[in-house]
Amino acid sequence: MRQKRAKTYRKLMHLYSMSFGFRQPYQILVDSEMCQIAIDAKLDLIKQFSTVLQGNVKPMITQCCMHELYLQGKARQPAVDLAKTFERRKCNHREAIPGDECLSGVVGDTNKHRYVVATQSQSLRNGLRIIPAVPVIHINRAVMVLEPPSEATLKAKELTEEQSLRPSAPELATVPRDKPVPKKRKGPKGPNPLSVKKKKNSNPETSTRPSQKTKAESLDTSSSTAQLPGQKRKRDSQDDKCEEQSVGMTNAAQNIASTRTRKRRRKAPAVSPSSP
Ligand SMILES: [Zn+2]
């Protein structure tokens, strides 16, 4: 297939899928004459279909079209065999009717099952042009052709595009309800907490490394029992400061603090001379 034609077909199938919901594998209703021509021209129908539609395909044949092929007799057996490989589309015509009528009945007024129709019948092709969104394939001198979109198809496409631009009645009804949604979508208030310097925490028990200043403040103001852990840590690091701060503590805590510092101070000189 030439590049220009391939591009045209790709665009056309894009239109059918975007505006009318055609999906792969494309379901193709094949008529009996198409099967016979394919055999005569030695065309690989399925391969040709997927080349023209540029996607996966699922060829189908209706019961009535199958019946038409049987009527052709033994000479047409290869066409029958080919058609037998297709999926059978039940049309529920109790007595077989002409293939054209059967196919237009299966497509219906709206082609709601999104069929592609592969037919050689000129009258059927004319009839399908009235219905929006029916891709039609025929064979012209051993070349498979995807017909350009019909007027009905183009009009329907414009209509759906207009509708998609204008908010529909149910959409308008939901607009006020939708308004709070963007507010919810806003990110967390303030900057990312991970990117911000940690706030100085006034509670020494929750903060892992309280700064000197907060420790001193908390020691001055609060009761002794709550302060013991913080006090201990401070004493370990800075003995002198701790002694000064212990003035503000209650007697019990003060005694513990002072005796410990005293003990340590006594120990220090006692140990240092003995050691070599
Ligand atoms: Zn039928």
Q: What is the pLDDT of residues 83-121, one digit of tens each?
A: 999 999 999 999 999 999 999 999 999 999 999 999 999
Question: What whole-number distance in Å separates Cα of residue 160 and Cα of residue 163?
Answer: 5
Per-position pLDDT tens, the chain of length 276: 789 999 999 999 999 999 999 999 999 999 999 999 999 999 999 999 999 999 999 999 999 999 999 999 899 999 999 999 999 999 999 999 999 999 999 999 999 999 999 999 999 999 999 999 999 999 999 899 999 999 999 999 999 888 888 776 666 666 555 555 555 556 667 777 788 777 766 665 544 454 454 444 444 444 444 444 444 444 444 444 444 444 444 455 555 545 454 545 554 454 444 444
The type of residue at 78 is P
CA of 93 relative to ligand 1 center, distance in Å? 5
Which residues are close to ligand 1, an ion, with C-beta < 5 A?
62, 64, 91, 93, 102
CA of 62 relative to ligand 1 center, distance in Å? 6
DSSP state of 191: S
Place domain 3-159 in its CATH homologous superfamily.
Answer: 5'-nuclease (3.40.50.1010)
Kindly calculate the radius of gyration of the chain based on its CA atoms and give it in whole angstroms: 43
CA of 123 relative to ligand 1 center, distance in Å? 17
What's the token pair of residue 246?
């212990």
8 Å CB contact between 250 and 224: yes
Residue 231 has a pLDDT of 47
Question: What whole-number distance in Å separates Cα of residue 220 and Cα of residue 77?
Answer: 106
CA of 161 relative to ligand 1 center, distance in Å? 34
CA of 96 relative to ligand 1 center, distance in Å? 6
What are the boundaries of each domain within the chain? 3-159, 202-266
